[in-house]
Amino acid sequence: MANLLTMKLEQFIDFDPGERARLDELLSYPTETYERGKPIIREGAKVPNIYLVLTGLAARSKTLRNGERQIMALLVPGDLCDVEVFVLERMDHDIIALAETTCVLIPAEVLEGLLSEFSKLTKALWWSTMTDSAVLRQWIVGHGARDSREQIAHLMYEMLIRYRIIGQAANDTFPFLLTQEELGDATGITSVHVNRTLQQLRSEGLIDLRNRTLTVLDTDGLRKAAQYESAYLHLTRTERRDEEVSGRAGDLVDPSHRGAVRDTAEKISSLFGSGTS
Amino acid sequence: MANLLTMKLEQFIDFDPGERARLDELLSYPTETYERGKPIIREGAKVPNIYLVLTGLAARSKTLRNGERQIMALLVPGDLCDVEVFVLERMDHDIIALAETTCVLIPAEVLEGLLSEFSKLTKALWWSTMTDSAVLRQWIVGHGARDSREQIAHLMYEMLIRYRIIGQAANDTFPFLLTQEELGDATGITSVHVNRTLQQLRSEGLIDLRNRTLTVLDTDGLRKAAQYESAYLHLTRTERRDEEVSGRAGDLVDPSHRGAVRDTAEKISSLFGSGTS
DNA sequence: CTGGTGCGTTAACACATGTTAGGAAGAAGG
DNA sequence: CCTTCTTCCTAACATGTGTTAACGCACCAG
């Protein structure tokens, strides 16, 4: 399997073969699989491992005393769950599995060792962290200044890009594993209103959501509906149009980029499936 | 003047005199002052300096096409505005002055040099970054799962703690430099409704807000109103009750801590004013 | 003193979203 | 095949928050 972590970090930094090899080694640590709905890491836990999502979907979430739950970030394959363990003593939120999810458990020392060895990797990890923060900021903007339709459109558009980046959104179709209730927890909207909003997006011909699979029928329309702006994901190399990675999501972050590398979604696996070692 | 940055980072790590001296040197770089309302750093900018707030109040904010503005974080004296410049190419949001604000402009190379020299400092900076993220997460929880009264109470309670930490909230009174409109931008509420909510908090006897100064009349009541939970600020040493720092905000994050170090707010300057070199 | 200008304050009304409740459709399991 | 459970969907009603608009007050400049 392609190294998803590498595919993600490559959006920012161009690794050499040695570095890639080291990254690949990380994937050889033991994995663990979690059923849908089960916690992967609990708030308050001291965790000795770094969790990397391989398959499925996880979320950062927080539960208030009154039982309300707020999802604060979605973690797709290739994402790290808990870089904070390097510094902060305890998790300040839960990581939960929103679908059957498999993670690699990388001992913290191992990754820490790698980091001091390769400062490039250190930089890449900082990038990943700061990008996470940027996504959080975007999430806040969403809640404060967007209505429900814009919010959900935005979430979908962001997920499309992120699945593209890891090569799993051919034809603008990708796994969308959230229930409407969970979508509500992510956006701060009730599931009833989520439903209303989905109907609307469907009737506008923007999306097709069925069987946990989302197809974006009109990427331009969806971007517009989302008031999407590309900068916050900090896809440095994509924006710079580095050939190696820009085919994945280039047309999404910058429509004018299309044509050049159109319909490359299908080629991604051949391009990168073997390019990670 | 006490080194505000040191006071803040001390919440996490105990520096030795040499390290403190180096931190103090950072404050000797040129400062710049910004009028209320003026931008300090603009979205999209490539910035060669790290900005450290010395006095006043700044905010991370984002403006949408339709003119709506969302404030995503408040920066009080001692806070760094743009650590991201080490890694990300451009700012993905604005930093604006909400009051007349003075910043030190530390050349990025200088701080970067310091970081490789002292890994403790590196850790402290990571701490600061990850804590920022944690605050963002909290902010999201606020928007999604709290009503206006809880949100505003929460913001006030957090600010009380943060001003305590830098020794500027004696008697639970501290500068509260936000207009109601800005409070609205921070919480995603209209200024009209902010006003309604403030009236309510006043009539409940929780706060006294006048002349840009906030006095918390009932810390317990406010904490309760805010559904506040301490963990997210990651005040490691405060929670551990390290004497050196726990007097500042200990009773706020853990009410049982009171008595032990009550009314220490006034002593803070004598304890730490000279303790930073 | 006088006219701005920004901020706080209220009031009346509109509407997006929440709440509650129940039924339909599909998946899982015996 | 039937039962059970989850998720999706819809309807009627309730309400928190937004909108608009107007007035007062403090502060400042001239």
What would the DSSP string read from start to end of B132-156?
A: HHHHHHHHHHHHHH--HHHHHHHHH
Query: Residues A128, B129: contact at Cβ < 8 Å?
Result: no
SS3 letters for chain A? CCCHHHHHHCCCCCCCHHHHHHHHHHCCCCEEEECCCCEEECCCCCCCEEEEEEECCEEEEEECCCCCEEEEEEECCCCECCHHHHCCCCCCCEEEECCCEEEEEEEHHHHHHHHHHCHHHHHHHHHHHHHHHHHHHHHHHHHHHCCHHHHHHHHHHHHHHHHHHCCCCHHHEEECCCCHHHHHHHHCCCHHHHHHHHHHHHHCCCEEEECCEEEECCHHHHHHHHCCCHHHHCCHHHHCCCHHHHHHHHHHHCHHHCCCCCCCHHHHHHHHCCCCC
pLDDT of residue A123: 84
SS3 category, B209: strand
pLDDT, averaged per 10 consecutive residues of chain B (277 residues), comes to: 84 88 93 93 93 94 80 93 88 93 95 83 86 88 84 93 90 92 90 91 90 91 86 78 79 65 35 31
- Most confident range, picked from A83-92, A240-249, B253-262: A83-92
pLDDT per residue as tens digits for the range A200-231: 999 888 999 988 899 999 999 999 899 888 77
pLDDT at residue A172 is higher than 70: yes
Mean pLDDT of A42-61: 93
Rounded CA gap, A57 and A74, in Å?
Answer: 7
Instruction: Compute φ and ψ for A214, nearest 5 degrees.
Output: -110, 130
In this structure, the strands spanning B69-75 and B94-97 are unpaired
Closest CA to A241 of A227, A258, A224, A222: A258
From chain A residues 60-99, the ones with a CB under 8 A of any chain B CB are: 60, 62, 64-65, 68-70, 72-73, 83-84, 86-90, 92-93
- The separation, in Å, between residue A196 CA and nucleotide C20 C1' comes to 16
Which chain A residues are closer than 8 Å to B132 by Cβ? 133
Mean pLDDT of A94-103: 94
Mean pLDDT of A87-105: 92
Subunit contact B130:A64, Cβ cutoff 8 A: no
The answer to whether the C-beta of B181 is closer than 7 A to strand D is no
Handedness of CA A187, A190, A196, A202 (dihedral sign): positive
In this structure, the strands spanning B173-175 and A58-63 are unpaired
pLDDT at residue A6 is higher than 60: yes
Which candidate in A111, A140, A239 is best for mutational testing of the B interface (most B CBs within 10 A)? A140
Rounded CA gap, A123 and A117, in Å?
Answer: 12
> DSSP label at B80?
B
Which candidate in A88, A120, A148 is best for mutational testing of the B interface (most B CBs within 10 A)? A88
Rounded CA gap, A143 and A141, in Å?
Answer: 6
Subunit contact B144:A143, Cβ cutoff 8 A: yes
Mean pLDDT of A114-120: 80
SS3 category, B216: strand
CB nearest B130 (choices: A72, A84, A123)? A84
pLDDT of residue B53: 95
Which chain B residues are closer than 8 Å to A126 by Cβ? 86-87
Subunit contact A140:B139, Cβ cutoff 8 A: yes
- The separation, in Å, between residue A70 CA and nucleotide C27 C1' comes to 27
CB contact A236 to B (< 8 Å): yes
SS3 category, B70: strand
In this structure, the strands spanning A213-216 and A173-175 are antiparallel
pLDDT of residue A130: 87
pLDDT of residue A257: 65
Mean pLDDT of A27-36: 94
> DSSP label at B74?
E
Which chain B residues are closer than 8 Å to A187 by Cβ? 144
pLDDT per residue as tens digits for the range B198-252: 999 998 889 999 888 999 999 999 998 888 887 777 787 787 778 788 778 878 8
The answer to whether the C-beta of A237 is closer than 7 A to strand C is no
Q: What is the pTM of this model?
A: 0.86
pLDDT of residue A121: 84
**Mean pLDDT over the full length of chain B:** 84
The answer to whether the C-beta of A210 is closer than 7 A to strand D is no
Which chain B residues are closer than 8 Å to A238 by Cβ? none
pLDDT of residue A1: 55
pLDDT of residue B162: 93
pLDDT of residue B273: 32
The answer to whether the C-beta of B145 is closer than 7 A to strand D is no
- The separation, in Å, between residue B193 CA and nucleotide C11 C1' comes to 13
Mean pLDDT of A129-136: 89
Cα A102 to Cα A33, A52, A78, A111, B64, distances in angstroms: 4, 8, 11, 19, 38
CB nearest B188 (choices: A65, A69, A144)? A144
The answer to whether the C-beta of B199 is closer than 7 A to strand C is yes
Rounded CA gap, A37 and A59, in Å?
Answer: 10
CB nearest B84 (choices: A43, A92, A130)? A130
Subunit contact A140:B137, Cβ cutoff 8 A: no
pLDDT of residue A266: 34
Instruction: Compute φ and ψ for A70, nearest 5 degrees.
Output: -125, 120
In this structure, the strands spanning B49-55 and A94-97 are unpaired
pLDDT of residue B258: 53
Closest CA to A97 of A132, A53, A59: A59
- Most confident range, picked from A11-20, A110-119, B246-255: A11-20
SS3 category, B99: coil
pLDDT at residue A277 is higher than 70: no
The nucleotide closest to B194 (CA, C1' atoms): D17
> Of A80 and A63, which is predicted with more confidence?
A80
